[in-house]
């Protein structure tokens, strides 16, 4: 048991560190080969911050633990909104622009509804997983095309500049890319092993482990980037990072895991986890419309998100005992 806890602690630490090195190396390499800042910001950084969830869920599905894969994806979504946006809003209120209310949030809400519809029958089949990946590919293509058409790569530039990718020599960038990727996979294996061992010893499902310990750990890159962005006044990056990560988790992470191993889904996922995820997504609409002024997630609303997350986690923790 002690080894399992040590494996989780070490695996999570190495996972977060290696994800950061992988993103930096990838972004710098892409920059050296002439990739536009928009693509670096949206594709490299976007994929990189969700790399922990993707690799952990893929490995969990490969090893026959689809519950851990699904719990990691949906748990990360809940953690991103309730915990990360809650903490970030307490540090500094987050501005919510009208574009987010008109485009990003409706898309995320529709994707959440798609996820609920797919698990209604108690399973995610390979064809359904392929649908998720197809929707994800279409969204990425449309978003990148729209950004290139408008020549509005300011946000992408800011995201790339956060990594200071111009200063890194190409050989060093390639080394960090390879080292980060190798350690990302290795740390994910360690983390999955520890999580499965704890689940077996405590007699709880790997879904619960995925929703709690693993989800929090794999969401640490989003927490770090969102807090840093907010402290610098870059609210667009902080909020966009969370919304983009949730889209990635729901479509790509679940899609990849489902293609590897079709997943049986217990009824509690629909009645508990998807419901909480949907309520949190809708709450961003309520906070963002700003009935008493400009739309923003203020400190009171951030505290409310944290209270909600504490209640949800406490309910899940009761499954341990």
Q: CB–CB of 74/218 below 8 Å?
A: no
**Which residues neighbour 100 within 8 Å (Cβ) at sequence distance 6 or greater?**
239, 240, 243, 288
C-alpha to C-alpha distance for 181 and 183, rounded to whole angstroms = 6
Reported in sequence order, the residue ranges of the chain that DSSP labels E, i.e. its strands, are: 94-95, 123-124, 263-264, 296-297
DSSP 8-state class, residue 160: H
pLDDT of residue 43: 63
Whole-angstrom Cα distance, residue 190 to residue 185?
9
Phi, psi of 110 (to 5 degrees): -65, -40
pLDDT score at 141 = 84
pLDDT at 274: 94
Contact by Cβ (8 Å): 297, 101:
no
Low-confidence ranges of the chain (pLDDT < 70): 34-49, 147-167, 228, 232, 234-237, 290-294, 319-321
The total of structural domains in the chain comes to 1
**Strands 94-95 and 296-297: what pairing?**
antiparallel
Amino acid 155: pLDDT: 47
What does each C-alpha distance from 306 to 83, 179, 193, 219 come to in angstroms?
6, 35, 29, 15
Q: Do the Cβ atoms of 191 and 51 come closer than 8 Å?
A: no
Return the closest-CA partner of residue 20 out of 39, 42, 44. Answer: 44
Region of 56 please: left (phi>0), alpha (psi -120 to 50) or beta.
Answer: alpha
Q: Residue 279's pLDDT is what?
A: 95
Give the domain range for residue 279.
Answer: 2-320
pLDDT of residue 154: 47
Backbone angles phi, psi at 124, to 5 degrees: -120, 110
Summarised one tens digit per residue, pLDDT across range 220-278 is 777 777 776 777 676 666 777 788 889 989 999 999 999 999 988 888 898 899 999 99
Helix (H), strand (E) at residue 73:
helix 66-78
Give the domain CATH number at 41: 1.20.1420.30
Tokens of 105: 């949030």
């Amino acid at each position: 048991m002690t080894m399992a806890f040590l494996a989780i602690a070490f695996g999570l630490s190495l996972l977060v560190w290696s994800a950061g090195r992988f993103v930096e190396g990838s972004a710098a390499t892409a920059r050296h080969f002439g990739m536009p800042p928009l693509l670096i910001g949206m594709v490299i950084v976007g994929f990189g911050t969700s790399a922990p969830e993707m690799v952990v869920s893929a490995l969990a599905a490969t090893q026959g633990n689809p519950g851990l894969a699904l719990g990691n994806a949906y748990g990360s979504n809940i953690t991103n909104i309730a915990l990360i946006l809650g903490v970030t809003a307490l540090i500094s209120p987050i501005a919510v622009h009208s574009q987010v209310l008109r485009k990003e949030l409706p898309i995320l809400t529709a994707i959440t509804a798609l996820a609920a519809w797919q698990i209604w029958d108690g399973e995610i089949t390979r064809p359904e997983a392929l649908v998720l990946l197809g929707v994800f590919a279409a969204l990425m293509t449309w978003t990148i095309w729209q950004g290139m058409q408008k020549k509005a790569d300011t946000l992408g530039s800011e995201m790339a500049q956060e990594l200071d990718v111009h200063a890194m020599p190409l050989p060093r960038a390639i080394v960090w890319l390879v080292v980060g990727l190798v350690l990302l996979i290795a740390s994910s294996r360690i983390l999955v092993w520890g999580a499965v061992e704890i689940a077996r010893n405590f007699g709880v499902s790997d879904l619960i482990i995925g929703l709690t310990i693993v989800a929090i750990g794999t969401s640490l890159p989003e927490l770090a980037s969102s807090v840093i962005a907010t402290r610098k006044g870059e609210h667009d990056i902080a909020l966009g990072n969370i919304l983009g990560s949730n889209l990635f988790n729901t479509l790509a992470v679940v899609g990849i895991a489902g293609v590897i191993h079709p997943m049986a889904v217990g009824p509690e996922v629909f009645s508990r986890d998807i419901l909480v995820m949907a309520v949190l997504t809708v709450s961003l609409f309520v906070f963002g419309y700003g009935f008493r002024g400009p739309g923003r997630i203020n400190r009171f609303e951030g505290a409310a998100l944290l209270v909600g997350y504490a209640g949800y986690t406490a309910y899940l923790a009761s499954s341990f005992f």
